[in-house]
Structure 1
Amino acid sequence: MAAGRERAARLLRQLQRAACRCPSHCHTYSQVPERPTLGNTDYAFEMAISNIRYGEGVTKEIGMDLQNLGARRVCLMTDKNLSQFPPVNAVLNSLAKYGINFQMYDNVRVEPTDQSFLDAIKFAKKGEFDAYVAVGGGSVIDTCKAANLYASSPTSDFLDYVNAPIGKGKPVTVPLKPLIAVPTTAGTGSETTGVAIFDFKELKVKTGIASRAIKPTLGIIDPLHTLSMPERIVANSGFDVLCHALESYTALPYNMRSPCPPNPINRPAYQGSNPISDVWAVHALRIVAKYLKRAIRNPEDREARANMHLASAFAGIGFGNAGVHLCHGMSYPISGLVKTYKPKDYNVDHALVPHGLSVVLTSPAVFAFTAQIRPERHLEAAEILGADIRTARIKDAGFILADTLRKFLFDLNVDDGLAAIGYSKADIPALVKGTLPQERVTKLSPRPQTEEDLSALFEASMKLY
């Protein structure tokens, strides 16, 4: 009897040793060991991409989209300049054709502020909307993202979701309503990203909200909407695409960014350069090199304007997941501290440095500075933009890219540096102070920077040519 029990026990032990050790099928080994991390850097990246629909005249489908969503109460958001133009009329015609009940908010501010965000949020809360449509540039789409977020989270304080260190940077856990974005400029790529940027007036700096949760449900890219864009708006929008592509491609690699998030919900929208974002960034840069000058110089060049509209979305997918770095981080105080500058072709009643201009004016200095790290990427970018690198030395990559950018900007009649838009060396301490809180992007620079470095970069950007 005892011998029989011993044989049975021995047989069970043998079966256990021979059993499947696959984590998916075996209870004994159902817990996979945690991946060891090196230091505190991240080890993964996540791609979040908005649905995109592209084609001439595709705006007419919006009414059907809202019907398909079962929307009963829609917020249509735009700005006063655009409200009388063809893109908004095309949306209105579609909403009327399909019997969509909507209210229009046309009080979006070009280059939004915290107060203009709050005004739109108040409208959204009062309207109790179940879907949103944003028709305009980045200012409109970003404002609509914020309105959707805070109307969906009505008890949240405004600073709860604003990026740290200015706000609390809390992760978004509430469900948002569907948002259809209709970009009318070829620049921000806001229809593809989970980012909403605004001027925080109290501190005189730009900041924003960054979360995959606020990304539009659908981006409607209708190249017909770019045909009425004036020359300087085409140029400044295109400069934003240029810098989105360059910065995301040269950003700190995702697996060198720290800290490693304790939970996937804490992984930032801007994660550092990665193999998938790289593809979108480089492709966008090639389109910019081929078509931006044509799109600026000839409003009848439908091919060029259509391709720049696509490039904006491509770059948006790239930087929306990889992030941007110093050009954007330094641009926020350039916009926020504007004195009297009013750009050509912008119908505004306040001083304004267009976002794309504020970004591109520091680009030669920035890429000369960052090229010490990953110089091969900087040299590749210079070649795409037209530089002859056959005899170039890799150590000169930053200077070559900087010179290529200066020539590019000179050919397009861009203001001669920060001095030409009203800044002087006396403003540099304030510009540096305004850059320091932008850690969300400045920490993605491949090369760390001190306050002295930032001062030198602003000084080098006072005059370009």
Structure 2
Amino acid sequence: MSGFDLALPGRVMFGPGRAGELAGLLPAMGSRLLLCTGRDPSRHRDLLGGLEPVAVVTAAGEPTVDDLRSATERARAAGADLVVAIGGGSVLDLGKAVAVLLGNGTDPLDHLEIVGRGVPVERPAAPFVAVPTTAGTGAEATANAVFRVPDRGLKVSIRSRHMLPAVALVDPLLTLTCPPPVTASSGLDALTQCLEPYVSPKATPATDAVAAEGLRRGAAALRRAYEHGDDHAAREDMALCSLFGGIALANAKLGAVHGLAGVIGGMVDAPHGMVCAALLAPVVEANVQALRERDPASPALARYAHVARLLTGSPDATVADAVDWLRGTVAALRVRPLSAAGLRPELFAEVAAKAAGSSSMQGNPVPLSEPELTAVLRAAH
């Protein structure tokens, strides 16, 4: 490794209570605020201080391309020059994409992959502040946003470094009210987003540092956060796991878990984190088996062994121990298998074929064939 790039938000503000600093940041960034929130727009309205939004848009679930276009039209009609998103990953994705479209004067289909023209984003986004209220997607530190295309059964993305927030304000106290199922699915997504970049061939010393620390903290804290939602230390560690996972994936890519989950998410209505959790142990097993058979000298095998030690806390842990830990954690957090998400076995071949060519596979440590991916789906079903 002779050199690397590291894409980061313009500023990261982390710590309990730091959401109280949001209002003081905004006057220097803009005066006409678009607020992106979840189902209840009033929930965190007090964080804005006296600044009244010129428009409010909500993301009640994973947003569609039509949701993005509608939100952008509202922002333009209101003359918004600043976007603040307070919520989970879907809310943050909607906010960052609106900010990019405001800054470029473009339409979603200009930049979206697969269903659009895929034109690169040329100009900076409107100032964008990301304030996550879950510890999961790491969207406060990623350079993409994901949208559903329901009539085509797809999830598609806009990708650009211009999508990195001007400010990522991460306050673990905002996650204290997350119910256990959300804590479980989002937390397992965060853990996955540290694990996949760590074993990626695109990993760098910088992504290794954050991914390994995210794995260590997340593994120690996830069950505590799930069982005791008011555990401040556990919530802080999970918020760091999510943030570090976002940084890691933005710079070292993801692997087969997300390659499959992205396809599945376009076909069935299931929480992204739940799908990732169901796939995680089977993908680790499939990758390790493929590496041992086809590339036994791969450094990814040593990385998986290190992952085992980080997850279990044992200096003697093996990859088999890591798989056992993952299965045990998924069971303890009551994550449902893919069968409960409505993914029928007759769809496995289609999912595997689509996933094999997806951009989310770029960080997988070994190419997996469609039969191998189908076997993963059977194991996770």
Q: Taking structure 2 as the reference length, what is the TM-score of the superposition?
A: 0.91
Deviation of residue 109 (structure 1)?
3.5
Q: Does the 8 A contact of 2:137 with 2:242 survive in 1?
A: yes
* Matches of 1:290 and 1:174, distance apart in 2: 41
* Matches of 2:285 and 2:326, distance apart in 1: 11
- Aligned partner of 2:99 in structure 1 is 148
One-letter amino acid of the counterpart of residue 358, structure 1: V
Q: Does the 8 A contact of 1:145 with 1:196 survive in 2?
A: yes
Deviation string for 1:267-297 (max 9, x for gaps)?
xxxxx21111010000000001111100000
Matched, 1:197 2:146: yes
- Aligned partner of 1:77 in structure 2 is 36
SS in structure 2 at match of 1:442: helix
Matched, 1:63 2:23: yes
Mean Cα displacement is larger for which, 189-198 or 165-174? 165-174
The verdict on how the C-alpha distance between 1:121 and 1:249 changes in structure 2, with shifts beyond 3 A counting, is same
Deviation of residue 205 (structure 1)?
1.9
Deviation of residue 422 (structure 1)?
2.3
- Aligned partner of 1:457 in structure 2 is 376
Which structure's CA Rg is the greater one?
1
The verdict on how the C-alpha distance between 1:436 and 1:201 changes in structure 2, with shifts beyond 3 A counting, is farther
* Matches of 1:223 and 1:389, distance apart in 2: 30
* Matches of 2:64 and 2:16, distance apart in 1: 33
Matched, 1:405 2:326: yes
The verdict on how the C-alpha distance between 1:283 and 1:391 changes in structure 2, with shifts beyond 3 A counting, is closer
Q: 1:377 is matched with which residue: 286, 303, 317?
A: 303
Matched, 1:161 2:111: yes
Deviation string for 1:360-409 (max 9, x for gaps)?
211111111222142111111112111756385xxxx3x44323211221
- Aligned partner of 1:321 in structure 2 is 251
- Aligned partner of 1:360 in structure 2 is 277
Unaligned runs of 5+ in 2: 292-297
- Larger % of helix: which? 2
Q: Does the 8 A contact of 1:166 with 1:437 survive in 2?
A: no
Q: Does the 8 A contact of 1:72 with 1:101 survive in 2?
A: no
Deviation of residue 68 (structure 1)?
2.3
Matched, 1:179 2:138: no
* Matches of 2:315 and 2:231, distance apart in 1: 30
Deviation of residue 435 (structure 1)?
2.1
* Matches of 2:332 and 2:286, distance apart in 1: 23
SS in structure 2 at match of 1:284: helix
Greater than 4 Å deviation, 4+ residue runs: none
Deviation string for 1:184-212 (max 9, x for gaps)?
00111111111101112233121211111
SS in structure 1 at match of 2:312: coil
Deviation of residue 124 (structure 1)?
1.8
* Matches of 1:365 and 1:419, distance apart in 2: 15
Q: Taking structure 1 as the reference length, what is the TM-score of the superposition?
A: 0.75
What percentage of residue pairs aligned between the two structures are identical? 30
* Matches of 2:256 and 2:204, distance apart in 1: 18
